[in-house]
Amino acid sequence: MAIQNRSSRRKDEIVSHFIQPSLVARVFLALAAAASLTGCGVVAFPVRVSSAAVKIVPVAGDVVAYPLDKTADVID
């Protein structure tokens, strides 16, 4: 009887060692943050930055930046 009790206690210790409440909370928060950023402008940010950099070119800047602006609008 004592052997079964010791082995079941050991399994509980192993499980609690691998699945800590703080770890579960951290993973949940990370997934919630990632899910909230899916439709955000974070993805469109590099396209907007490159569009702004291209607009500096005097003659062709606006022509080249137009498709980039439209792409960023679609992403948003």
Tens digits of residue pLDDT in 7-43:
555 655 555 555 566 777 777 887 777 776 666 677 7
Task: Provide the domain count of the chain.
Answer: 2
Q: Could you tell me the two tokens for 12?
A: 């509980």
What pLDDT is stored for residue 30 in this prediction?
A: 78
Which of 53, 56, 51, 55 has the alpha carbon at shortest distance from 67? 51
Task: Determine what percent of the chain is predicted with pLDDT higher than 70.
Answer: 64
Whether 2 and 15 map to the same domain: the answer is yes
Whether 44 and 75 map to the same domain: the answer is yes
Q: Could you tell me the two tokens for 16?
A: 């609690």
Whether 57 and 75 map to the same domain: the answer is yes
Residue 59: is its pLDDT beyond 80? yes
